[in-house]
Structure formats: structure tokens, C-alpha cells
A and B are shown apart, each in its own frame.
Chain A
Amino acid sequence: DAGVTQSPTHLIKTRGQQVTLRCSPKSGHDTVSWYQQALGQGPQFIFQYYEEEERQRGNFPDRFSGHQFPNYSSELNVNALLLGDSALYLCASSLRSQGASIQYFGAGTRLSVL
């Protein structure tokens, strides 16, 4: 059973460009969350998708957008890249439940903006 998979693993872009990161959730999961982790910091929540809609959003500008597909996979798009967008981008999947809902993380996409 594959876990959460993210692609690509590494990416180099220049300022002003746009980037798309992809995430396939763990089998059986219906919710995808995205996090940004700057060097030396803990992950920061970007947004969460469930039933193809954005359900919760962190303190990130509109340049960050996403999408969830019917098969539960998800994309993170970042427009007009800034140097400060350089970070590890993490995708986590989970199954909505009344009790504890465990998020399982992928290995991340390392984005470098030059």
C-alpha cells in the first residue's frame, strides 16, 4: 500500500514564474492538506481540500491556490514566485472521521526560487 506520494521531489524556478506541485493521497484517504516548511522552521499550514473544495486556509496570499480531483489527488499552484517561496512543500492526507484524524505526510517537494 503506497503512502502519500509527491512530485516532483526537487524543483528550481526563477522569480515571477509559476509552479505546480502534485500529491497523491494514501489509499482510502479523502482529505489533502498542504504545508510549507522554511529552513529551520516547523511546517506551516497552507490549506486543506475535502470533496474537491478548499475547507480551511492558513495565512497565505492568493498566489497560493489548489485543487482536488475526483480521485482525491491534489495540486498546489504558486503564481508570481518570490525568493521567499523557497521551501519544502509537504502534502498530508487523512480520512475524515469523528474521532482522531491522523495526517500522513509525503516526503515533500523541495522548491528553490532563484
Chain B
Amino acid sequence: DAKTTQPTSMDCAEGRAANLPCNHSTISGNEYVYWYRQIHSQGPQYIIHGLKNNETNEMASLIITEDRKSSTLILPHATLRDTAVYYCIVRGGSSNTGKLIFGQGTTLQVKP
């Protein structure tokens, strides 16, 4: 079973920031939070990952709460091409290199 909880769907206006939440209340100290997205019928695309600190790359920012029980993926200026299913995945420790467990994810619809 997935170790994360995400809203089923969200809408965002084009050009605005999209903030996608994820709860992972049972996360262990050595587990990472990974975010992937999947545009219809394509393979999942890696976005970003983090352990404790906030992270930023060219695609997005990841904000992890101090207690590490939740995180937020931020797409700073959403475009129509960001419409996709976004998956938050927790993995690490002895399973560091093992399988990714995908839940249902959040379907983000970016609207003009």
C-alpha cells in the first residue's frame, strides 16, 4: 500500500502557482519523498525529491514540513502542459533502491 495520501484532483489557473499537497505521516527518518508526474499515456516523469530540506530545480519546488509528515510540490507558473497526474512517493532505508509504490495520485487540471 502507498504510504502517502493525496487529494484526488485539483484545478489551477494558467500562470498561477499550483500547490499540490501530500501527507506521509508514517515516514521514517531515512526515507525520501519523490514526486513524479504522468501525462496521459506517457511514462512517469521524475520531478524532484527531498529528504529534510526544501528543494528547488528547474521544474518545481518541494517544501517539506519540519516534522516531515507532509510536503507540498509547487509549480510556480503552471501552464496547460502541466496538466497531468502527480504522484507523491515515499521510499528509502532498506528499500532505498527498490520498487516505487504508486498511489492514485492527484489529477491536476490547468485551465486557461
Instruction: Give A contacts to B, CB under 8 Å.
Output: 4, 31, 33, 35, 42-45, 48, 50, 55-56, 58, 88, 90, 92, 94, 96-108, 110
A102 and B34 in contact, given A42-B87, A90-B43, A90-B44 (Cβ under 8 angstroms): yes
- Per the bound structure, the CA–CA distance linking A48 and B101 in Å amounts to 13
Number of B residues near A (Cβ < 8 Å) is 24
When the two chains form their complex, are residues B99 and A42 in contact, meaning their CB atoms are under 8 A apart? no
When the two chains form their complex, are residues B103 and A102 in contact, meaning their CB atoms are under 8 A apart? no
B85 to chain A, nearest CB (A): 8
When the two chains form their complex, are residues A45 and B101 in contact, meaning their CB atoms are under 8 A apart? yes
Chain B contact residues: over half helix, strand or loop, or mixed? loop
When the two chains form their complex, are residues A42 and B43 in contact, meaning their CB atoms are under 8 A apart? no
When the two chains form their complex, are residues B46 and A33 in contact, meaning their CB atoms are under 8 A apart? no
Instruction: Give the one of B49, B97, B100, B104 with max A CB within 10 A.
Output: B97
Give B47-65 as 1s and 0s: 1 = Cβ < 8 Å from A's Cβ atoms: 0010100000000000000
Q: List 25 A-B contacts (CB under 8 A).
A: A31-B97, A33-B99, A33-B100, A42-B104, A43-B44, A43-B100, A43-B102, A45-B99, A92-B43, A94-B97, A98-B96, A100-B32, A100-B49, A100-B51, A100-B96, A101-B96, A101-B97, A102-B46, A104-B46, A105-B36, A105-B43, A105-B44, A105-B45, A105-B46, A110-B41
- Inter-chain contacts of B44 with A (CB < 8 A): 43, 90, 92, 105
Residue on B nearest A88 in the bound complex, by CB: B41
Residue on B nearest A43 in the bound complex, by CB: B102
